[in-house]
């Protein structure tokens, strides 16, 4: 769980930098580091590692995280093509979805 939170923090630092500094280059590094770390945690869990633990999540939380993770490569492509309007909208959507995925089940 610790590494998932670290991935989220890295991603959110990159998202805030990307939205406030007009998609500066370092924002892509933070976004990518968060994405790679989260994908690594998911892969380790899928391979059966007992050291990686996830809290119980609802189906909609898993779907929100999956959509957020799927949107990140598209976000990076838009940024590399210098198409900043879709970059900003998709990045804000991915950040919102990733934040939703971290909510506790008891809240709903």
Residue-wise pLDDT tens digits, 14-71: 999 999 988 788 899 999 999 999 999 989 988 988 887 776 778 888 899 999 999 9
pTM, entire model? 0.86
CA–CA separation, 93 and 1 (whole Å): 23
Q: What is the pLDDT of residue 105?
A: 59
The burial of 32, by beta-carbon neighbours within 10 Å (0-12 exposed, 13-18 middle, 19 or more buried), is given as middle
Judge whether residue 8 has pLDDT over 70: yes
CB contact set of 103 (below 8 Å; sequence gap of 6+):
61
Judge whether residue 83 has pLDDT over 60: yes
* Structure tokens that stand for 89 in this block: 């909208």
């Amino acid at each position: 769980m610790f590494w998932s939170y670290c991935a989220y923090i890295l991603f959110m630092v990159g998202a805030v930098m990307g939205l406030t500094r007009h998609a500066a280059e370092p924002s892509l590094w933070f976004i990518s580091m968060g994405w790679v770390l989260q994908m690594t945690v998911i892969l380790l869990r899928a391979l059966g590692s007992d050291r990686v633990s996830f809290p119980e999540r609802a189906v909609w939380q898993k779907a929100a995280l999956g959509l957020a993770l799927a949107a990140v490569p598209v976000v990076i492509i838009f940024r590399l093509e210098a198409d900043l309007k879709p970059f900003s909208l998709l990045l804000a959507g991915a950040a919102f979805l990733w934040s939703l995925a971290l909510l506790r089940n008891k809240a709903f």
